[in-house]
Amino acid sequence: SPASAQGPGYDKRYCGTGKQKDYRGTISTTVGGRECQRWDTNSPHSHSRTAANYPNSDLVENYCRNPDNEPSAWCYTSDPAKRWERCDVPSCPYIS
Q: What confidence score (pLDDT) does residue 47 get?
A: 98
The burial of 63, by beta-carbon neighbours within 10 Å (0-12 exposed, 13-18 middle, 19 or more buried), is given as buried
The predicted-structure confidence for 16-70, as pLDDT tens digits, reads as follows: 999 999 999 999 999 999 999 999 999 999 999 999 999 999 999 999 999 999 9
pLDDT at 11 over 90: no
Beta strands 74-76 and 84-86, pairing class: antiparallel
The model's pTM is 0.86
Q: Is 45 exposed, middle or buried (0-12, 13-18, 19+ CB in 10 A)?
A: middle
Half-sphere exposure of 1 (CA within 13 A, CB side): 11
| Rounded-to-integer distance, Cα 64 and Cα 73, Å | 6
